[in-house]
Amino acid sequence: MKRCSVLILLLLVVLLTSGCNEGDKLTSQPDSPAAQEKITVLLDWVPNTNHTGLFVAKDLGYYADEGLEVEIIQPGDGGTAQLIGAGTGEFGISYQEDVTAARSQNIPVVAIAAVIQHNTSGFASLKSSNITTPADFSGKTYGGWGSPAETAVLKAIMEADNADFSTVNIMNIGSFDFFTSLEKGVDFAWIFKGWTGIEAQLRNVELNFIRLSEIDPVFDYYTPVIIASEDTLGKNPQLAEKFMRATSKGYSYCIENPEKAAEILLDNAPESDRELLIESQKYLAAEYKADAPRWGEMKPEVWKNYADFMFANNLIDKKIKAEAAFTNQFLP
């Protein structure tokens, strides 16, 4: 009887214990996913192939994998450097010359990656115009957007070619695109080969193209770049690291899969020309990283050389510390 009572008691304990365990299983909830950190990225212009890596990182879940919920928006009033410096967004797309000018005005923005390793811009004209060197700009009409940097660069490269800059007629073409401006009396303009140059090929328009980076190394500056404020980088370096890990994956995908990347951009910018996006993406696939050890990496001499040019040509009022204007610290 005693042994039977003991066995019954043990059985009750087992049943009660397993019942409690089953109850725990029924009432316990699976761990909820960690909340995503919301951040804003400001573009410099309408979505184009300079930006594809951002949209790839968003659409393929690279940002989500880092715990980030990213909103990519076009800029409002003011330049991206000024907006990021004012805390309007965490990250943005800008240019080396804009970052340099901003820092000379004590706007605390820092470049954290070069989107494209070398400057792909230059001066383009119709093949029939026979403009093949800066000396050929003499007596011609230049269509620009009214920036002091334009005249400074034009003057510098023409003087190096023993040509007289004062003979150039400068026309502010405003919102006219390159092809429209040619119909308005413009002989040459400053374009990006990876966009307008590709569009010319698709239109079967033959161009002469003088690439700035091949004229003088000082003009091989970084354009565009990804920027952040000193405040963001100082207070939340982990955020910058996560953002750049995902963004780097996005641009690596663009390098390896340009056509698929172009389709992702088209999904985000359906008003764009599909053929132009694909051909531009193919061109930039070789330009994003080019000869750099890794995508996004920047060199101090590139920042110093162009900052010195800007100061010497009164494009900035004071010299900046080039090493403070950029960092490779957050690149994976």
230 and 153 Cβ atoms separated by less than 8 Å: no
CATH architecture of 37-117+222-325: 3-Layer(aba) Sandwich (3.40)
3-state helix, strand, coil in the chain (%, to 5): 50, 15, 35
Identify the sign of the CA torsion 9, 14, 20, 22: negative
| Residue 116, helix vs strand vs coil | coil
Give the Cα-Cα-Cα angle 65, 70, 72 (nearest 5 degrees): 140
Nearest to 206 by CA among 129, 123, 120: 129
| Residue 46, helix vs strand vs coil | coil
pLDDT tens-digit profile, the chain (332 residues):
333 333 333 333 333 334 434 333 333 344 445 689 999 999 999 999 999 999 999 999 999 999 999 999 987 766 899 999 999 999 999 999 999 999 999 999 999 999 999 999 999 999 999 999 999 999 999 999 888 999 999 999 999 999 999 999 999 987 788 999 999 899 999 999 999 999 999 999 999 999 999 999 999 999 999 999 999 999 999 999 999 999 999 999 999 999 999 999 999 999 999 999 999 999 999 999 999 999 999 999 999 999 999 999 999 999 999 999 999 999 99
| Residue 210, helix vs strand vs coil | strand
Q: Please spell the DSSP secondary structure of 7-29, one letter per residue.
A: HHHHHHHHHHHHHHHHHHHHH--
Q: Which residue ranges make up each domain of the chain?
A: 37-117+222-325, 121-219
Residue 91 in tokens: 């990250």
Domains 37-117+222-325 and 121-219 share a fold: yes
CATH architecture of 121-219: 3-Layer(aba) Sandwich (3.40)
